[in-house]
Structure 1
Amino acid sequence: MARDTAILRVTGFVQGVGFRYTTKHVAYKYDVSGTVKNLDDGSVEIHAIAEEENLNKFIDAIKKGPSPGCRIEHVYIYKGAPVEDRKTFDIVY
């Protein structure tokens, strides 16, 4: 089955609260590969690749805030965006 891609940019209180770490665990739960990294402007960027149903479940979980300490203001979603094909989901430092 074909895998879909998405780039998510998450704004709010999302750095220094375990957001990337918990995002990685959510990615494993839904069999999503890709990356998550902090951006200089205080937001977080996620590159995700998965089968459509799993990708949608992953995005829904991110919108709810995977980390108990985070506060999501907005999730910008760019579906179909070019994303490097990966086998794992990694935190980029």
Structure 2
Amino acid sequence: MKICYIAKVTGVVQGVYFRASAQNIAIDYQLSGYAHNLEDGSVEVMVCGDEDNVQHMLDWLHQGPEEAEVENVVVDQTHPRDINHFSIG
């Protein structure tokens, strides 16, 4: 069953390859969604896919790539989306 979550990740998460790293993780776990920078310095990540794989991605968001300093992750479930790729922007 496909599930989707939207997460807002705060801390030092822009300019540290967070979005590109999230895309690589999503591809590894066959997930779809996106990672976008927000004006307040946070990153919004939507992730959709198999429940176990989505959970791996959500767990990864709490640490991010090596250069990141994640302070907080707020996760909300959302309606499944009919997308089949993971974009960054």
Q: TM-score range by the shorter chain?
A: over 0.9
Residues matched between the structures, number: 89
TM-score relative to the length of structure 1: 0.90
TM-score relative to the length of structure 2: 0.94
Aligned positions of 1:57-76 closer than 5 A: 57-65=56-64, 67-76=65-74
* Percent of aligned pairs with the same amino acid: 34
* Structure 1 runs not aligned, ≥5 long: none
Deviation of 1:64 (Å): 2.0
Deviation of 1:83 (Å): 5.2
Question: Using a 3 Å threshold, how does the CA distance of structure 1 residues 62 and 30 change in structure 2: closer, same or farther?
Answer: same
1:88 is matched with 85
One-letter amino acid of the counterpart of residue 21, structure 2:
T
Distance in 1 between residues matched to 2:49 and 2:81, nearest whole Å: 12
Moved over 3 A (4+): none
Distance in 1 between residues matched to 2:31 and 2:6, nearest whole Å: 12
One-letter amino acid of the counterpart of residue 8, structure 2:
R
2:44 is matched with 45
SS at match of 1:58: helix
For the 8 Å contact 2:16–2:67, the answer to whether it is kept is yes
* Structure 2 runs not aligned, ≥5 long: none
Question: Using a 3 Å threshold, how does the CA distance of structure 1 residues 83 and 4 change in structure 2: closer, same or farther?
Answer: closer
